[in-house]
Structure 1
Amino acid sequence: MRGLRKLQFSVATIVSSALIPCLVLADDHTGGVPLLSSRPDAPYTFYLNFAGFNYTGNWSSGTPGSTPSYFGVSSTGTFNSTQQNRIKQVWARVAEKYAPFNVNVTTIDPAVAAGRADTDAHRQAYYDSQARMMHTVIGGTGGWSGGGGVSFVGTTQNSYSTSGNGGAGLGRHTNWVFAAQAPTSYQFVAEASAHEIGHGMKLDHQSDFNGTAKINEYSSNNGATGNGSYAPIMGNSYSTQRGTWRIGTAGDNGNPVSQNDVATLLTNNGVGGFIDDGIGHGFGTATDLPLTGLTINNTLAKGVIVPSSSANPQAMGEDSYLSDFFRFRTEGGLVSMKLTNGSQYLTPGTADPGATLDSVLRVYDSSMNLVGMATRDGSTLFSTFSMNLGVGNYFAKISSIGGYSSTFATPASYYTMGSYFLTGSGFTPVPEPATMLGLASGLAFFYRRRRKQK
């Protein structure tokens, strides 16, 4: 265990706590939480708890007590459809941050399946006892702690004794995001959740330094906002377009140290390397573009762009990332494609909020000659390709733009990795080799039959 970290933010973003009454909870929990999981079989579980929690005992030097549910809905009540949709948006944003890693971001309480959810004290003990699990309570104003959230650092990978707090455990696997401070700012709630989970996975704050003097505990990349803007998840990414992992500077005042967020995340026991999205990473291993008729099947034509090295991941340079390759065919005519950054967990064909990838789409002919490149939209969230192509086979290559570099205060580089999906039309299905072989065998059989009839 390496101490704890509090997440602070500008008072200007705080909504008066009077709007969210402080409800007294027993061990009942608000119903109607959407059941969502990003990768259910992953070795790590990050449980986002929107339904309220009654913490037993002390957590570090504070006493959390009862935390009301997100939006302060009664512990005997149920989230309505609007609130459920907002929970989905928060979950999707957090899931996208961790999409390149073998972890499961979920709203499903793992203590239920384990038979340890009869009381919150038992749930608290269960979370502590489970290595590779973090329980993030989303709700309340945090009056007992201060800041926008709070977490221990570097505890998620380990299991802990439950002897403290009367057998409920010391809460090493429970952290908080004080969502009642800005309940309708879904970006705040999601970025803060990803931030606190990051602490549990050994990450410290990404800060700004002038020489060795710390000038900002929470770097916001000089308050970067608007299209194409970046800020660090482990800093303050509440207002930027992309909150991403960063290679930058952490540490105490007078003692700055370099922190590669992605490399650090991979050092947690059992995370392993990056996920494999199942798409070929070269011309020779290209995946057939999934089609429904003559149009792209976007539920299958998707992937996750990750760094090319797990041993030494780097943020800058297109070659620092693996590219995905699809093979397609056209009988000639207009071929249109749209490459969208982000996941589509919530509505297939529509990007979820919180894309972290910034990507490039290139089209090559069968001889691997560049035919054209998609036009990047001003929003930086998608690119489009439209061109009349001759009859033949082609390749679509999806790549990261190769990172983003900032020179504000201490120089830093930002990872441009994450999910994408493709849509488009004007294609011809590419026959599988086995299909072609079967067709040839059928023709040979037909030819032999004809010869016998002569």
Structure 2
Amino acid sequence: MNQHISLIATQRIRRMKAILSLIVTGLLTLSVTAQTPSLSSYPAAQATVFLDFDGHTVKGTIWNWSGTIQAKPSGLSPSAITEIFHRVAEDYRIFNLNITTDSTVYHAAPYNKRVRIIVTPTYEWYGKAGGAAFVGTFADGDDQPAFVFSGLLGNNVKNVAEAISHETGHTMGLQHQSSYDRGCKMTAEYAAGTGSGQIGWAPIMGVGYYKNLTTWHNGPNAEGCNVLQQDIAVIASKANGFGLRPDDHANSFAEASPLERSGMDFLAEGLINDKDDQDVFRFTLPTAANFRINAIPNSIGTDNEGANLDIQVSLVNQQADTIGGYNPATLLHAGLDSNLNSGTYYLVVDGVGNANHDDYASLGYYAISGSINQVLPIHRFVLTAYAQPGRHQLQWQYDTDEAVRSVEVEYSLDGVHFSALTPLHADSRNFSWQPAASATVFYRIRAITLADERNYYSNIVSLKQRRQDGYTLLSTLVGQSIHLQTADNYQYQLFDEKGRLLQRGRLAAGTHQLPVRQAPKGLLLLRLQNESGSWSEKLIKQ
């Protein structure tokens, strides 16, 4: 597995810049070469980070100690590049900075406000590393690039994205976030973070490969236990020539943004761009009603992967009394479902900390969707779902004081905008179908009452269809065994976090329980392979 070693060159070039690298061994996955999609995160910004996946000839730079470097194209597919882009863009969302895959945007940016990050499998000129960057080159104006060696990261989209954000941070002046014991002795140059699940956290300038939530951090860097590095302040400093994006919604009740409604539904979005930022929305109910919302951080799919924001939503009445605050302890999204009397109310969105980190960098983009309906005659409207090979299975339950005319399954690809999938009889309590795409799909159930045809909605759930229908991993958290369903034959290998082979074998089509009782706790890597390709799954042994 990936090991991380700092290479800090003794050369003192200009401002004693250090070469800082993430040393790794490769993880094997499939990749293809294809045209790079043109993507930009914030075109209004002058400052630009160019993610170069197309290959590049590097000459006349500090890197050319052995001559010209012919960096090959990354070999990543358009879908992989798109996911990497969105992950990196969210890491830098709060800054007045454009993340782009378009070379013309890079060339149009000011010389002293741009950097090229070359994503390439070509590493031999440098050595086995996840990436390499000189510290503080972003604003120099001499086009010194940084590198991410995609092949040595196994073309794993999360790992490549983490390395890009990390190396870009170096170009903007950041050192590593490190760990120390109580005696001020360094225990790890790359801080590994803590926790598991959605809120498992690590600093971007540490090692974020194994945690879902990776953010900027205010903590000791590699120079010493007493040298605190405020990542956000360094990136947004005058030295780099850009700061934070402007606030989009006010923090006060007096300047609250109206919650725009379309019929009984509403949508809103915003950006929490510093630790003191709160976005306040206002709405008025002419009569008693049920108020239901879901607040979702920007992410790339199931389990809020790639999100930087842990959301709390609070409901406040006109007298400024807080009715309730909602922040699930182990989840990054939040929601509420409350029956309210007539009157004016405020919805407050905030980025908060959790058991694994504080609120210093719980920041980023979010979207809110919800509905305002009359007080529910339908109670306990609960939707559950699970993925099987090639299919999504939905089940729901509700209690009602009124007759229901029909129910309807609705789906969404972003968790905000829903479309009807199919109408069903009122007695229906389950539904199964095969999604056409491998993207994450969000579901909810709409129930329509017979008397006045009012609409009521269940909770929202999300499922991700695998790129291949050949296997389903029932959970990435394992105890005594790994539970796996396969529709085809596979060869498998199981490694620990140091890359040591724990077991190997063959799997026939069917249901399997691979014993891991003797495996060490922590990260495990399961590789599956057959004639159709190979896949890698990261597991956590508890």
TM-score normalised by length of structure 1: 0.71
Secondary structure in 2 matching 1:276: coil
Contact 1:37–1:104 at 8 Å: present in 2 too? yes
- The one of 65, 68, 92 aligned to 2:72: 68
Deviation readout 1:271-291 (Å, 9 max, x if unpaired)? 454212421211111001122
Q: State how far apart, in whole Å, the 1-side matches of 2:104 and 2:171 are.
A: 18
Aligned residue number for residue 332 of structure 2: 381
Aligned match of 2:102 in 101, 108, 116? 108
The structure richer in strand per residue is: 2
Residue in 1 that maps onto 2:278: 323
Change in 2 beyond 3 A, CA 1:332/1:181: same
Unaligned runs of 5+ in 1: 22-29, 73-82, 115-126, 161-170, 308-319, 407-411, 429-454
Say which SS state the counterpart of residue 425 (structure 1) adopts: strand
Equivalent residues in 2 for 1:334-373 (5 A)? 334-342=290-298, 353-373=305-325
Letter in 2 for 1:283: F
> Is 1:204 aligned to 2:175, yes or no?
yes
Q: Which residue of 2 aligns with 1:49?
A: 52
How far off is 1:67 after superposition?
1.8
| Cα contact 1:47–1:108 (8 A) shared by 2 | yes
Q: Which residue of 2 aligns with 1:159?
A: 141
**1:15 pairs with one of 7, 18, 27:** 27
Matched, 1:181 2:152: yes
Residue type at the aligned position of 2:148: V
- Alignment partner, residue 501 of structure 2: none
TM-aligned CA deviation for residue 4 of structure 1 = 3.0
1:369 to partner: Cα distance:
1.6
Which amino acid in structure 2 is aligned with residue 323 of structure 1?
A: Q
Per-residue CA shift, 1:155-210, capped at 9, x if unaligned?
112213xxxxxxxxxx52x1111111234421111111001110111101111223
Change beyond 3 A, Cα 1:247–1:292: same
Which of the numbers 73, 92, 98 marks the counterpart of 1:98?
92
Alignment identity in percent?
28
Higher normalized contact order (CA 8 Å, seq sep 6+, divided by chain length):
1
Q: 1:351, CA displacement in angstroms?
A: 9.1
The CA RMSD over aligned residues, in Å, is: 2.9
Change (3 A) 1:283 1:258: same
For 1:362-384, what per-residue CA distance to the aligned partner results, in whole angstroms no more than 9, with x for missing partners? 11112222222335274x12111
Match of 2:522 in 1: none
Equivalence for 2:126: 145
Q: CA deviation at 1:259?
A: 0.9
Task: Select 1:262's aligned residue among 214, 232, 249.
Answer: 232
Residues 392-431 of structure 1 mapped to structure 2, 5 A cutoff: 392-402=343-353, 415-426=361-372
SS in 2 for 1:285: coil
Deviation at 1:104, TM superposition (A): 0.5
Contact 1:33/1:50 (8 A) holds in 2:
yes
**TM-score, normalized by length of structure 2?**
0.60
For residue 333 of structure 1, report the CA deviation from its aligned partner.
1.8
1:229 aligns with 2:229: no
- Separation of aligned partners in 1, 2:294 and 2:355: 22
2:88 counterpart SS class: helix
Amino acid at match of 1:302: E
Q: Is the 8 A contact 1:103 1:271 kept in 2?
A: no
Q: Identify the residue that residue 84 of structure 1 maps to in structure 2.
A: 78
Distance 2:334 2:311 in 1: 8
Q: What CA deviation, in whole Å up to 9, does each residue of 1:262-304 have, x standing for no partner?
A: 111121446454212421211111001122222122xxx1111
Q: Runs of 5+ in structure 2 lacking a partner?
A: 1-14, 375-542
Mapped to 2, the partners of 1:44 and 1:57 lie a distance apart of 23
Determine helix, strand or coil for the equivalent of 2:336: strand
Shift of 1:6: 2.8
* Partner SS, residue 426 of structure 1: strand
Q: For the residues of structure 2 that align with 1:62 and 1:249, how far apart are their CA atoms?
A: 35
